[in-house]
Chains A and B, each alone.
Chain A
Amino acid sequence: MTFTGLSSRAPAHPGAVTRFLHRHEGWRGHLLLAPTLILMTVAILAPLGMTLIMSTWFVQGYDVIKSPGLGNYTAMVENPMFRVLIWRTLTIALTCTLITVFLVYPVAYYLAFHTGRHKAIWLLVITLPFWTSYLLRVFAWRVVLGHEGVINSGLMSLGFISEPISALLYSQTAVTIVLAHSWAAFAVVPIFVSLEKINRSYLEAAADLGDSPARRFWRITLPLSLPGIVAAFVMMFVPTMGEYITPIMVGGPDSMMIGNLVQTMFGPMNNWPAGAALAVVMMLTIALAGLVFVVLNKLVQR
């Protein structure tokens, strides 16, 4: 926009800015990035800094006392609640990520190798359930898993069970199932993309040299799609770590995650500084997990 604006004003002699930008490629890039960078600074970095600062304050009654200290962090070390919740959150997020990636791989495989011309339609069909609101989908699971829900009444009418399985809803199992379903589409796409990129002539070559389909898969397809699997892991693991609404809607007392505690601190507990400190710790935990994935990815690509 700036370019055309400037040059149309002075068509014969390009303005100083235009000339400068012509000469410095780096600045051209920065200028293009500027809107995003400004937004990032204002909407992400600044609040992040505020969160960091706030996490050192504390609360007395309704008042926030703005004297810096590490009280919120030491409390997290002393109180076993935080460790248990962080551990539980990691377990749930990791379990549902593993399950989903495992289940979704064949789907992505089919999509990449067997759909031919209709790839776009298939992709659309797979993402179709995700056109409904997230909240609505979680709610629908309550109908499926509930006491008089589809699964329980189905099993009962078939005579497999005489009493509804109560552990289906309001449990960690429920949270894991719902999360696995909710984020599945985010796992399909990266795996699909990595499978799609695989050069088909490798597979033909392997076949020519006498590899069975199974060996072909283990020696070529799977290793080449590993970056996609790692990406799918990250795409699912990070958001599920921060989940808050799913445990509230389908979880019981023993399936609350760290996101719920953060909400409680900012909400009913009215202790923003402690909530901020917890958010910082959570961010560090996720960053650490992310680092593991990055290292894995590096190892895989070697």
Chain B
Amino acid sequence: MDVIDQLGAMREGKLSRSAFNRSLLAMGITTALVPLLPRKALAAPEDQATFFTWGGYNTPELFEEYIAKHGEEPRYATYGSAEEAMNKLRSGFVPDVVHPCISDVPRWSGTGMFQPIDTSRLSNWPSMLPELWNRDYNVVGDEVWLAPFNWGQTSIAYRTDLFELQGEESWDMLWDERYSGRIGMLAGGGDAWWCAAIKAGVPFEQLDTDEAFEKISAVLRAQRPLVRVYTDDTTQTDTALAAGELVATMAWNSTVVWLAEAGNPVKFAQPKEGALTYVCGMMLLADAPKLDRAYDIIDSLISKSASVVNIGWGYGGVHRNSFDDFTDEQLAARTLSRNPAEIINAGHFGVPQTAEWEQRMTATWEQIKLGF
């Protein structure tokens, strides 16, 4: 019984109901079986470990070593902010490797959902820049909770032709009333709240006080009427900045690299109060379903090739030799340095906070964004 025949029968009104049902059944079975057909001669994707990361890092360029070893990319799952990731993990999602930032470590490791990383299993670890991971809360004997992958700054990307600078570059730029309705903000509290703390002059050591909450909230509330859009979708801010719809936005290093390469007059500000600096990297799930391959994911991400890709995008790499591929000008354009400590210590580095603080901060910040 072929398809043409049936179509013909249907047109003439001769297709019996049972014949029709039979063909529907056949179609259903075929559809149900399609996923079982062999897709590739190589390992099925179910065999690969899962990397749970920020949207944008889910690309094969970073996994040269992993692909060389296993013939295929790892599986990916993505999120827009670390809190969103934690929330998904707590609701039962078990990937192998997650990508938070180092100041999240005490809070995250305290949940019992992670295991320390045995660095002796990572072939690229000896080339890792130690100043990135060497913090007392990150080290457990010979093991670390988080293996760094990227570092950099959260600062202001602005249009040099549209934004008329008054004096030095400063966080005040994002509070400039002349540009009301043309200012962009990152939506995640992990960036916005901390930068507002710098703007409000609250030292990170004193963040967990009612006074700090009041001061920072006041600053962010004052800014809200000026803000056109709060988003973690960098494509959205990048295109808006390119179009001149936004003249200044809170941003990560990559925004400027992409826009400058496209010929836009955009600069990554070095605010006089200091930028927010961070180190982010991989944490290993305690129940990682594919532990060996999870180590391969981490090893691949700290390899030289991945580091070079990362620096190309504008973020700091972690392999000590990866900077050799770039000139000083290229690094300066990205506000990076061969010596990460230089950049990281020049800015304000995140200080670990409690889960209660994080909860309170997020709740307050979300309300402020909604206008309350």
Show the binding face of A for B, using Cβ within 8 Å.
59-62, 79-81, 84-85, 146-148, 164, 166, 170, 252-254, 256, 260-261, 264, 266-271
Residue on A with the closest CB to B232? A268
A253–B369 touching, CB < 8 Å: yes
- How many inter-chain residue pairs (CB < 8 Å) link A and B? 75
A147–B87 touching, CB < 8 Å: no
CA distance A131 to B93 in the complex (A): 32
> Taking A269-B366, A271-B363 as contacts, is the C-beta distance between A62 and B90 under 8 angstroms?
yes
A81, A267, A270, A271: the one contacting B372 at CB < 8 Å is A81
A61–B84 touching, CB < 8 Å: no
> Which residues of A lie under 8 Å from residue B366 when comparing CB positions?
261, 264, 268-269
Interface magnitude class on chain B: 20 to 34
B243–A146 touching, CB < 8 Å: yes
Show the binding face of B for A, using Cβ within 8 Å.
81, 83-84, 86-87, 90, 111, 181, 188-189, 224, 227-230, 240, 243-245, 354-356, 359, 362-363, 366-367, 369-372
> Which residues of A lie under 8 Å from residue B363 when comparing CB positions?
269, 271
CA distance A269 to B90 in the complex (A): 13
> Shortest Cβ distance from B104 into chain A, in angstroms?
12
A84, A148, A166, A260: the one contacting B181 at CB < 8 Å is A166
> Which residues of B lie under 8 Å from residue A146 when comparing CB positions?
243, 245
A62–B111 touching, CB < 8 Å: yes
A147–B355 touching, CB < 8 Å: no
User: 14 additional contacts, CB 8 Å, given A253-B369, A268-B84, A269-B83?
Assistant: A60-B356, A61-B356, A62-B355, A164-B245, A166-B245, A170-B229, A253-B230, A256-B370, A261-B366, A267-B84, A268-B81, A270-B86, A270-B90, A271-B359
> Which residues of B lie under 8 Å from residue A268 when comparing CB positions?
81, 83-84, 87, 188-189, 362, 366
> Which residues of B lie under 8 Å from residue A264 when comparing CB positions?
366
> Shortest Cβ distance from B228 into chain A, in angstroms?
6
A-B contacts, 16 of them at CB < 8 A, read A62-B111, A62-B359, A79-B372, A80-B372, A81-B372, A84-B372, A166-B181, A166-B228, A253-B229, A253-B371, A261-B366, A261-B370, A267-B87, A268-B81, A269-B83, A269-B366
Residue on B with the closest CB to A261? B370
> Shortest Cβ distance from B236 into chain A, in angstroms?
9
> Shortest Cβ distance from B86 into chain A, in angstroms?
7
> Which residues of A lie under 8 Å from residue B181 when comparing CB positions?
166
> Taking A253-B230, A271-B359 as contacts, is the C-beta distance between A147 and B245 under 8 angstroms?
yes
B243–A147 touching, CB < 8 Å: yes
> Shortest Cβ distance from A261 into chain B, in angstroms?
7
> Which residues of B lie under 8 Å from residue A254 when comparing CB positions?
371
CA distance A80 to B228 in the complex (A): 23
Cβ-closest 6 pairs across A and B? A147-B245, A61-B355, A81-B372, A268-B83, A61-B356, A62-B355
CA distance A62 to B86 in the complex (A): 9
CA distance A62 to B87 in the complex (A): 9
CA distance A60 to B354 in the complex (A): 11
> Which residues of A lie under 8 Å from residue B87 when comparing CB positions?
266-268, 270
B189, B229, B244, B362: the one contacting A252 at CB < 8 Å is B229
> Taking A148-B243, A267-B84, A270-B90 as contacts, is the C-beta distance between A253 and B224 under 8 angstroms?
yes
> Which residues of B lie under 8 Å from residue A148 when comparing CB positions?
243, 245
B189–A147 touching, CB < 8 Å: no
Residue on A with the closest CB to B82? A268
> Shortest Cβ distance from B24 into chain A, in angstroms?
15
